[in-house]
């Protein structure tokens, strides 16, 4: 019975201690508030706040200019490019120095036998015969003689022949080597007189013959103011 009373007193003492502890804790927690109680569970986050006031204007920038950096290292040498277009012709250069005087050449005189020329005019007033040499029977200058209007080569080489002929209506002439026509010329006039000419260079062997001949249009004239002339000369001999 005594033991039960002791245990009852001990329990009451412990309960009093617990009440004091709880009261002290609640008093500390509830200080400054109207009511007292145990702290509640933290609430959820509230909504975002409103935008703040507009800030002050910033300082001026660098006027939009890019800041130049430091110079980099040289790159690798690239491949050769394609050839460009040809440029304009440059100015003429200065003339070079005169070269040394050449050696004296070997003199080569031209013998009398290698000179050949003639110039004769038609003296007869008769019309020439078709396909026959025109007789240029008066020498204008001393030279090789013509045999009834025919020139005969005495030197092998290249010769120049030409004629100037006066006529009426129509004149057709051929320069022939032997019987072969080398060149032919024709000229005509509606009224009055006409003057026609022709020329050729021929290679001749010794003994070749050259003449001027007409066809059926053979109104070749001669006389004062209407001369007809046949001329030829050696350009150069060949061996």
Residue pLDDT, tens place only, 180-189: 999 999 888 8
Q: Is 190 domain-assigned?
A: yes
CA angle 93, 96, 98 (to 5 degrees): 155
Q: Is 54 domain-assigned?
A: no
What separation in angstroms does the CA of 228 have from each of 115, 134, 172, 185?
Answer: 24, 10, 14, 15
Query: How large is the average pLDDT for residues 96-122?
Result: 77
Domain ranges, residue 122: 113-237
pLDDT digits (tens, 9 = 90+) for 143-152: 999 999 999 9
| DSSP notation for 54-115 | --PPPPP-STTPPPP-PPPPP-PPPPPPPP----PPPPPPPPPPPPPPPPPPPP-PPPGGG-
Quote the pLDDT of residue 184. 92
By three-state DSSP, how is residue 219 classified? strand
* Direct distance between the N- and C-terminal alpha carbons of the chain, in angstroms, rounded to an integer: 182
pLDDT surpasses 80 at 7? no
Question: What is the C-alpha to C-alpha distance for residues 185 and 79, in angstroms, rounded to an integer?
Answer: 69
Q: Is 194 domain-assigned?
A: yes
Q: Among the listed ranges 36-45, 109-118, 120-129, which one has the minimum average pLDDT value? A: 109-118
CA atoms within 13 A on the CB side of 156: 4
Question: What is the C-alpha to C-alpha distance for residues 181 and 178, in angstroms, rounded to an integer?
Answer: 8
DSSP class of residue 34?
A: S
Domain CATH for 210: 2.60.120.40
DSSP class of residue 47?
A: P
Q: Is 6 domain-assigned?
A: no
Q: Is 75 domain-assigned?
A: no
Residue from 98, 82, 125 nearest 222 by CA: 125
| DSSP notation for 116-143 | -EEEEE----SPPPTTSB----EESSSS
Total domains in the chain come to 1
pLDDT digits (tens, 9 = 90+) for 179-235: 999 999 988 887 778 888 999 999 999 999 999 998 877 788 777 778 899 999 999
Rounded to two decimals, what is the model's pTM? 0.52
Quote the pLDDT of residue 45. 78
Mean residue pLDDT across the chain: 80
Q: Is 210 domain-assigned?
A: yes
pLDDT digits (tens, 9 = 90+) for 41-82: 877 877 888 888 888 887 776 666 666 778 888 888 888 888
Q: Is 213 domain-assigned?
A: yes
Contact 162, 120 (CB under 8 A): no
Q: Is 45 domain-assigned?
A: no
């Amino acid at each position: 019975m005594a033991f039960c009373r002791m245990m009852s007193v001990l329990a009451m003492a412990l309960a009093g201690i617990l009440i004091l502890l709880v009261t002290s804790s609640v008093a500390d927690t509830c200080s400054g508030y109207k009511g007292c109680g145990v702290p509640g569970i933290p609430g959820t986050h509230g909504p975002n706040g409103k935008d703040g006031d507009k800030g002050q204007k910033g300082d001026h920038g660098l006027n939009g200019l890019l800041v130049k950096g430091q110079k980099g290292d040289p790159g690798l040498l690239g491949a050769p490019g394609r050839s460009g277009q040809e440029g304009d012709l440059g100015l003429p250069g200065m003339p070079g120095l005169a070269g040394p005087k050449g050696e004296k050449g070997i003199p080569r005189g031209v013998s009398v036998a290698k000179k050949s020329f003639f110039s004769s005019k038609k003296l007869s007033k008769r019309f020439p015969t078709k396909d026959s040499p025109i007789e240029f029977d008066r020498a204008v200058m001393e030279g090789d003689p013509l045999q009834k209007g025919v020139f005969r080569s005495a030197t092998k080489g290249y010769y120049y022949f030409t004629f100037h002929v006066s006529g009426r209506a129509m004149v057709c002439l051929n320069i022939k080597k032997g019987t072969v026509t080398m060149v032919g010329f024709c000229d005509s006039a509606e009224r009055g007189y006409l003057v026609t000419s022709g020329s050729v260079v021929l290679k001749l062997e010794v003994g070749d013959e050259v003449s001027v001949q007409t066809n059926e249009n053979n109104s070749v004239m001669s006389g004062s103011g209407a001369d007809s002339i046949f001329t030829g000369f050696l350009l150069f001999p060949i061996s």
